[in-house]
Copies of this chain bind each other. A is one copy, B any other.
Amino acid sequence: MLTSLSNDRIKAVSALIKQSKMRKQKGLFVVEGSRMVSEVPAALLQELYLSESFAKKKENLPIIEKLTAPTKGRPGLEPVLVSDTVFAKMSDTMHPQGILAVATQPSYNIEDLLTGNTYLVLENVQDPGNVGTLLRTSEAAGADALFLSAGCADLFNPKTVRSTMGAIFRVPFFYYEEIRSFLVKLDAHGISTYAACLEGSEEYTKVSYGEKCAILIGNEGAGLSKAAKEGSRFRVRIPMEGQVESLNASVSGALFLYEVKRQHSGI
């Protein structure tokens, strides 16, 4: 059992939790809690850490057995036992459940992703909770993939991972390099682009979304860049009453995605 914070494995996990740079470098990330850890596809599960008291509880046996059993292409996994005190310090949560996994970051080929019908494109959405919620909503609304700029909150930040509620393992995503050329690429694949912005001349429920479409959502404070607005085929707004200047990014994205879903399902 690991009982020291200076143990190399514990230090490596802490670094993956805290440092986006380390996550990128290793291609790994950390998932916490029974619920989220059970969502990790077996092929991506690299290491399993259990607190002493989690491992001792009878009711946790089934999940531990399921996670550590040998699967196609991978031998059985040996869980790492950690003292409760060290686990609590290593954990990113206030009330750690005592189970945590190191997983390989899923990755996708952009060309494979462009054969669907509905996409969400984020530009510099900086709140990890918003990015995670937008991924979760993308799955619920039936979007085919999420595209992110490098300036967005890291998808593998523990707060983002939690907010996705498992969608991080189910909705494909891709980090694009530059918005102008990326919009050209979408266009070349027959995907119409709709920039969500206050200056939009049409309301989001009065626009007809093509069979293949992508919705662009910008930064929480500044909205979409000029390049994103100009490079999109349509500029569309959500009507707002009162003195509200903008909606929360997760809310805007959801309203658009569900309007697309409504139109695509022919209501």
Contact = CB atoms under 8 A, between A and B. Distances in A.
Contact of A250 (B165, B205, B238, B248): B248
Contacts of A206: 267
Given A250-B251, A255-B258, A258-B255, A244 B205 contact: no
Contacts of A262: 205
Nearest to A251: B254
A130 B139 CA distance: 20
B250 A139 contact: no
Given A248-B133, A254-B255, A170 B267 contact: no
Interface residues of A, number: 35
Contacts of A165: 244-246
B136 A248 contact: yes
A236 to B, nearest CB: 14
Contact of A136 (B136, B166, B170, B247): B247
Nearest to A169: B243
Interface in A127-144: 129, 133, 136-137, 139-142
Contacts of A205: 262, 267
Contact of A242 (B139, B240, B244): B139
A137 B247 contact: yes
A171 interface: yes
A161 interface: no
Chain A binding surface SS class:
loop
Contacts of A247: 136-137, 140, 254
A139 B242 CA distance: 6
Contacts of A166: 243
A165 B221 CA distance: 11
B241 A140 contact: yes
B250 A141 contact: no
A155 interface: no
Nearest to A245: B165
A242 B206 CA distance: 27
A262 B267 CA distance: 14
Given A205-B262, A205-B267, A258-B255, A140 B242 contact: yes
A13 interface: no
Interface string A230-267: 00000000111111111110110011001001100001
12 contacts: A139-B243, A139-B244, A140-B242, A163-B248, A165-B246, A166-B243, A171-B242, A250-B250, A250-B251, A251-B254, A254-B254, A255-B258
